[in-house]
Amino acid sequence: MPMYPPEVHLSYLTPLRFLQRSAEVYRHKPAIVYGERVYTYPEMAERVNRLASALSGIGIGKGDRVAYLVPNIPQMLEGHFGVPLAGAIIVAINTRLSSPEIGYILAHSGAKALVVDSELAPAVEPLLADLPDLRTVITVEDVPGGLRLPGPEYEAFLASSSPDPIAWPIADENEVIAIDYTSGTTGKPKGVMYTHRGAYLNSLGELIELTITPESVYLWTLPMFHCNGWCCPWAITGVGATHVCMRKFDPTVAWGLIVDVGVTHLCAAPTVLIALVNSGAAPSEPLGRPWTVATAAAPPSPTIIRQVEALGATVVHVYGLTEVYGPYTVCAWQPEWNALPEEERARLKIRQGVGYLVADDARVVDEDMNDVPRDGVTLGEVIMRGNNTMLGYFADQEATERAFRGGWFHSGDLAVMHPDGYLELRDRKKDIIISGGENISTIEIEQAICGHPSVLEAAVIAIPDDYWGEVPKAFVTLKSGHALEEEDLIAHCRKVLAHFKAPKAVVFCDLPKTATGKVQKFVLRDREWSGQEKRIH
């Protein structure tokens, strides 16, 4: 190891450097565009400095958690820099969750402060009395008619503090910068810890793999709460590109921004791409300029890839999980593939590919962690390690050790490895449902269903859906002498779960079981997917 003289101070790898640099270099460039509002990079930096100072002023400091329940608006971007600049950790919460789910994350993370959009505040109000760690609630009033909770209003909170730059508070680049909660695929969600170093490097990975430059204009269709927007709040800022915020995804509005603002990049699940290409606002011809679409979650079908690329876009297919900062692999395109027929090109592009430049290679292994043959047939589990794997699960050492057994992160995803070294997913080890890019736990739904007094037992599986890819369906056995309507059970689930997690259909029946009493979910799945190609994740 090289020995540096004492006077040489090595710089920490942290995304805080990104905004600092862009504010110095791109003094007149638009950093954020949101409707009629435009912030330059120096203006963005000043607002972030004010946020960090204001948080410090209410006692937020080293290692404290600051939760955000805010849509894709400028304040959410500012939180990705202002919170760590105060020495704290940002906890971005899924804006689609139910009140009890939000409450669990706030309690488990021990958040001392919460920044909440006024439109989402009604989900928080009933929780406040049961959150002793939560000292301050800051309300963002972005749209009229929302609920103002007790505590400061965001703009006044910023105005009361100093715009002067703050020294970076980190003493180690492996300190935690963010905690992202999973969708609870094995029951309660787990808090995935990202480090300053990992966020820095994965941000560089996004810039490289998606070819983002200072001239790029990035449209926020991907939720910033999801894996911290794949690290793009930091990445886009770092290269001095322009963020275009959109409070809520609407395909008509999106196309207006793509055309009028000159959007060059966006990230989206296949369901969002389906909505875009089928929108009445979609152009009938290619845009006539380069633009790039990164897609992940459920693998895109060859059909949707062809439809998007027919509009002049380059589709980049990536794959990852919350535990690996979002994308970890990319279907790196080979120039010779351009000469192949359209259908074959699309079929190649649906593969998950190879590790990012900043990542180790992903492996596909058997139960003994031996690599499976590169034959495109033999199934194994995808495992990862390196710069962009999580530090661990917050306050859950046991789960962390299980996830990293053998020194590699175990994804729980089943895949094959092709002869060219590109991996392709084939199924999940767990029964997770991926609906519109959102992970849904069957166990969580089953527990909600069984909370109904008339239910004896339940099993939930994914069924095919033309728009969402797949949605939950419940098979329920009622207690003797009880009666229950499908609509009533779905309404019951919506009281305790986010609506998108509630089953879309219910069948009352006896469940198929093994001799030992275990429910045979594969029997239910085979019935529902009969005659259709099972979507892979």
Helices and strands, counts by H and E, the chain: 16, 25
- DSSP three-state, residue 229: helix
Q: Give the C-alpha distances (Å, rounded to integers) separating 254 from 31, 38, 224, 234, 318.
A: 19, 18, 16, 22, 22
Q: What is the pTM of this model?
A: 0.85
DSSP designation for 127: G
Domains of the chain: 16-248 (3.40.50.12780), 359-428 (2.30.38.10), 433-528 (3.30.300.30)
Provide the residue-wise pLDDT of the chain in tens; the chain has 537 residues. 555 555 555 689 999 999 999 999 999 999 999 999 999 999 999 999 999 999 999 999 999 999 999 999 999 999 999 999 999 999 999 998 999 999 999 999 999 999 999 999 999 999 999 999 999 999 999 999 999 999 999 999 999 999 999 999 999 999 999 999 997 544 689 999 999 999 999 999 999 999 999 999 999 999 999 999 999 999 999 999 999 999 999 999 999 999 999 999 999 988 788 889 889 999 999 999 999 999 987 667 777 888 899 999 999 999 999 999 999 999 999 999 999 998 899 889 989 999 999 999 999 999 999 999 999 988 889 999 998 999 999 999 999 999 999 999 999 888 889 999 999 887 666 677 888 888 787 777 887 898 898 988 888 999 999 889 899 999 998 988 999 999 999 999 999 899 999 999 999 999 887 443 457 888 898 888 876 655 444
How confident is the model at residue 537, as a pLDDT? 42
Q: How many CA atoms lie within 13 A of 536 on its CB side?
A: 16
How confident is the model at residue 197, as a pLDDT? 97
How confident is the model at residue 526, as a pLDDT? 85
Q: Which helix (H) or strand (E) holds 78?
A: helix 74-85
The label of the residue with tokens 């592009």 reads: 349
